[in-house]
Amino acid sequence: MRIGIFGAGGMAEALGGQWAKAGHEVMVAARDRAKAAEISPRVGTWAETARASEVILLAVPAASVTEVLAMAGNLAGKVLIDCTNAVGPGAVLTVPDQAARIAAAAVGAHVVKAFNLCHVDVWRMTPPVFGGRPLAVPICGDKVGEVSELVRDLGCVPLVAGGLDRAALMEATMAFTVGLWFDGHDAQACFPPLPA
Ligand SMILES: NC(=O)c1ccc[n+]([C@@H]2O[C@H](COP(=O)([O-])OP(=O)(O)OC[C@H]3O[C@@H](n4cnc5c(N)ncnc54)[C@H](OP(=O)(O)O)[C@@H]3O)[C@@H](O)[C@H]2O)c1
């Protein structure tokens, strides 16, 4: 798959690095080209990276997505993975529906919410398996085939969880569980196993 990554921070390095190892062509666009080159030898401008890619991971802070998408230009037909978390102090959402905001800015793109629930260190694990159970990764969007493949490339299990209209629930889930974790609670212990 030809994957573009917007941003060269932790999430870009963790996910992009794993996908490159899995054999995908990864191209990175970032303000700092030297940082981008640490992730992949293929570095482009925002627009070059957009044009060259079938799937793009948007891995910049939530507050900068509109600015970055404007620099990227036409994204019609591309799968745009939104892993962003618009969360502020006290684990509250600073934007009520970040994925919808991204979809409005990236006209014609297939926005897919994924990879926002876990800390970057989890995405660096090869593979993320806990208690013998591979990590399940919820995906919300209307074109989920490519993202499901990219989830499997991490050794995780894709969990198709509805359309982009469900993405705000994933964003709220992230804020709620992060709040629990920060307070020292085991968020996973809130949920009974499926047979129950
Ligand atoms: N870290 C996590 O555990 C985690 C987990 C799940 C989801 N996320 C989400 O993933 C996204 C990326 O997180 P991260 O941890 O990778 O962040 P990060 O390490 O801080 O990297 C952010 C990247 O975005 C770039 N950037 C910042 N402001 C920009 C702007 N105005 N225009 C263009 N580029 C800009 C930074 O460039 P410079 O280096 O030039 O500043 C950097 O390349 C965020 O939305 C975050 O909420 C993070």
Question: Using one digit for the tens of pLDDT, what is the confidence trace for 148-160?
Answer: 999 999 999 999 9
H, E, C per residue of 104-119: HHCCCCEEEECCCCCC
The H or E element spanning position 190 is none
pLDDT of residue 182: 93
The single-letter code of the amino acid at 10 is G
SS3 call for 82: strand
43 Cβ contact partners less than 8 Å away, ≥ 6 residues apart: 27, 28, 29, 30, 33, 36, 37
Mean pLDDT for the chain overall: 97
Report the percent of the chain where pLDDT is more than 90. Answer: 99
Q: Residue whose CA is closest, atom 35 of ligand 1?
A: 60
Alpha helices, H only, the chain? 10-21, 33-39, 46-52, 65-72, 98-105, 120-123, 145-153, 167-182
Residue closest by Cα to atom 6 of ligand 1: 116
The predicted-structure confidence for 55-84, as pLDDT tens digits, reads as follows 999 999 999 999 999 999 999 999 999 999
- Supply the Cα-derived Rg of the chain in whole angstroms: 16
Ligand 1 center from residue 61 Cα (angstroms): 4
Please list the ranges in the chain whose pLDDT falls under 70.
none
CATH number corresponding to 2-187: 3.40.50.720
Residue 89 has a pLDDT of: 95
Tell me, what's the pLDDT at 22?
98
32 membership: H or E segment, kind and range = none
Q: Which residue has the tokens 């804020």?
A: 175
Minimum-distance ligand 1 atom for the alpha carbon of 13? 16
Residue with tokens 């629990």: 180
Could you tell me which residues are beta bridge partners of residue 186? none
Distance between CA atoms of 110 and 101, rounded to whole angstroms?
A: 13
pLDDT for position 47: 98
Mutate to test the pocket of ligand 1, among 49, 60, 117, 125 (most ligand atoms within 8 A of CB): 60
Q: What is the 8-class DSSP label of residue 112? A: E
